[in-house]
Structure 1
Amino acid sequence: MDVLSPRIEQLRLRDLLMLEHIAASASLRVVAQQLHVTQPAVTQALRSLERAFGVALVQRGERGQRGGGLTPAGAAALQRMRVARQELLAAQRAALTPDVALLRLGVLPLTMYGLVPKALTRLRAARPDIHVTLHEDTLARLWQRLDDGQLDAVVGRVPMRDELSQLPTGVDLQRVGSDRLVFVAGVRHPLANLKRLPLTQLVDQAWVLPQPSAFTRQVFDHLFVGAGLTPPVPVITSMSFYSNLNLIADCADLLTIAPASAAHKHAASLGLKTLPTPKQLQASDVVLAYRRSARASPHMGALIAAFAE
């Protein structure tokens, strides 16, 4: 087990969290006002922090005086301290409810069609004492919440090359499944029974699509751009695959793009038809992401095992 240096062990939690106030206000004077202490007291606490960590955490001005901005070392330390604060809050909840283990799981909506429900069913059978809270969001926000310690794990797709910078440090990725995107229509749509469907025939159709920042929308737009076509402008924008599938089921002129698992699950109940979809929309791997330091936790181990099955 790693041993903390005596200087770090002597630090107070209030001093550690002071970096967050400094990062937010960029002024030691303002920090002193927020903490209801004198500015010399803030300066002294900062000196103790820097001696304990062995590096400068706050930038100096031209005269050698501390400014308010954090150094790169200070920013890196603050990020880990935010995680530590979330872990302290989790420890407090655990102490108040020792018979219930809490797992905070972030999920992309596309993973809720089969993959996550099946894994959580296995988890409940193996560990009925574990309480899971689900948080659905975009992948970028899920990575940020995992990095901040607000989530214990994330189930999402494999990051694209330009998204790797968003991936938190110290995170392990475990492949747990795959899914692909398909074009979907209601059975009453004029295109529902076609065997071939060129992209040129889809440009002027009425579409229900996710917002432009969503991965699915970006893949959709790139497909048309790659073919030299202008991507269709949606008549309805919605982030919920389930909502979109219900919309195309009731509106005979609408099309959407959705995970194949979602289209298959609701095909019979809603009256849906998967359209001929270009091969460029290949299957995307789905991964379970978790902080490496949390792998030894029995709760995380149970979650990993549930997905591995």
Structure 2
Amino acid sequence: MDQHLEVFVKVVEKENFSKAAEELHMTQPAVSQYIRTLEESVGTRLLERSNKYVRLNKAGEIVYHHAKEIIALYTKMQSLVDDLTKRASGPIAIGASYTFGEYILPHIIAKMQEQFPLINPSIRIQNTKEIIELVKKHQLDIGIIEGLYKQDILNSEVVSKDRMVIVAGPRHPLLSQTEEIKISDLEEETWILREEGSGTREAAENLFEMYEFTPKKIMVFGSTQLIKESVEAGLGISLLSSWAIKKELTNGYIGIINAKGLPFKRNFSILTHTSYQTKALKTFIETLRDYLADPSKHTF
């Protein structure tokens, strides 16, 4: 791999020549020379420099974006070559949307590490839309999202169904109601939802569309944990994954509203950029499938 690109990316991310040199185990003059040579090769300046900062200009933004992809592709290529003779090992960049990443992925990683300690996973947790973009840009080897991926740019596969239920705080009057209620009767309730771009938000909007109503009041919060705390406090109700509420249900912090047509089901899908996969990535996918296929993991 061209080391000039590696040095350039490090300078950009550290915003400082000295810090980049220290991390790369190089001298600062050597780093400066690499940047000058790269700029001469490209034919224009890439960085704006001062005593206080190092910043990308427009040309630098283009080079940085593609340099990241080139480095990621080189790393993947090297891992594939290494796999010809080695057991499952090396880095995997895994991305997951919030529900899967916070409540399911840690257990899968723990299971994999028990059997394959030489695999070194790194994790990014962001909403579904952001995970898709990171896989497209080769910043992630695999993404796990809520819902379906509807484009042809990436390979996608549904790996599990997610059961979603409507939850309320322990003192909510609807929890004591034994007869099923219609979901559309919840139109007057305050609904606490995730932000746009979230798979959980998309599921809630699909539910409203299916039952032809729009809540009179919606509150938007940026994390599932905050939504659970708010539901427990009595601020409103929400549609959440059964994976995300196991502890709260066990401890009686929240309850499930007995609504007709629930649980609402959505998909968990995996996204990869290529059919060529390292042994480490294949091992992770196999571990993920085994975990999700265990019925005991799906019960409340």
Q: Answer yes or no: same fold by TM over 0.5.
A: yes
Q: From the superposition, tell whether residues 263 and 148 of structure 1 become closer, same or farther in structure 2 (CA, over 3 Å).
A: same
Change in 2 beyond 3 A, CA 1:122/1:225? closer
Determine which of 180, 200, 206 is the counterpart of 2:190: 206
Provide closer, same or farther for how the CA distance between residues 134 and 82 of structure 1 changes in structure 2, counting only shifts above 3 A.
Answer: closer
Write the mapping of 1:49-88 to structure 2, written as runs, cut at 5 A: 82-88=68-74
Task: Give the CA deviation at 1:91.
Answer: 9.0
C-alpha displacement of 1:276: 2.4
State the Cα distance separating 1:209 from its structure 2 match.
Answer: 1.2
One-letter identity of the residue aligned with 1:130: I
Question: Structure 1 pair 253/139, CA: closer, same or farther in 2 (3 Å)?
Answer: closer
1:109-128 residue CA offsets vs partner (Å, 9 max, x unmatched): 22146532332122111111
Q: Does 1:192 align with 2:181?
A: no
- 1:152 maps to a residue whose letter is D
Which deviates the most, 144-153 or 258-267? 258-267
- Are 2:253 and 1:271 equivalent residues in the alignment? yes
More displaced 10-residue stretch of structure 1: 79-88 or 212-221:
79-88
Q: What residue is the counterpart of 2:287 in the other structure? A: 306
1:86: Cα distance to partner?
2.4
The alignment yields a C-alpha RMSD, in angstroms, of 3.9
The code of the aligned residue for 1:196 comes to E
1:149 to 125, 128, 138: 138
- Matched with 2:234 is 252
Tell me which residue corresponds to 1:97. Answer: none
What TM-score, normalized to structure 1? 0.63
The Cα shift of 1:289 comes to 2.3
SS in 2 for 1:263: helix
Judge conservation of contact 2:91–2:120 (CA < 8 Å) in 1. Answer: yes
Change (3 A) 1:274 1:82: same
Match of 1:283, SS state, is strand
In the other structure, the counterpart of 2:86 is none
1:104 aligns with 2:85: no
Answer yes or no: is the 8 Å Cα contact 1:263–1:274 preserved in 2. no
CA contact (8 A) 1:179 1:286 kept: yes
SS of 2:213's equivalent in the other structure is coil
Alignment length, in residue pairs? 238
Q: Counterparts of 1:217-232 in structure 2 under 5 Å?
A: 217-232=201-216
What's 1:54 paired with? Answer: none
Q: Deviations over 1:236-268 (max 9, x none)?
A: 32132222112211x235211110221233212
What fraction of aligned residue pairs are identical, expressed as a percent? Answer: 15
Contact persistence 2:164–2:262 (CA under 8 A): no
Structure 1: state its 5+ residue gaps.
Answer: 1-10, 16-34, 44-67, 70-74, 93-99
Which amino acid in structure 2 is aligned with residue 86 of structure 1? A
Does 2:272 correspond to 1:287? no
Q: 1:274/1:112 Cα in 2 relative to 1: closer, same or farther (>3 Å)?
A: farther
Given that 1:208 and 1:238 are in contact with CA atoms closer than 8 Å, whether structure 2 keeps it comes out as yes
Q: Contact 2:164–2:263 (CA<8 Å) still a contact in 1? A: yes
- Answer whether contact 1:189 1:253 (CA < 8 A) is retained: no
Which runs of 5 or more structure 2 residues have no equivalent in the other structure?
6-34, 44-57, 79-88, 291-300
Instruction: Give the secondary structure class of the aligned counterpart of 1:180.
Output: strand
Q: Tell me what 1:19 maps to.
A: none
Show CA shifts across 1:265-291 (max 9, x none).
321225211112453763222223223
Aligned to 1:51: none
Residues 137 and 114 (structure 1 numbering): CA distance in 2 closer, same or farther, change over 3 Å?
closer
Partners of 2:2 and 2:246 lie apart in 1 by 55
C-alpha distance in structure 1 between counterparts of 2:146 and 2:119, whole Å: 25
Higher alpha-carbon deviation: 192-201 or 82-91 = 82-91
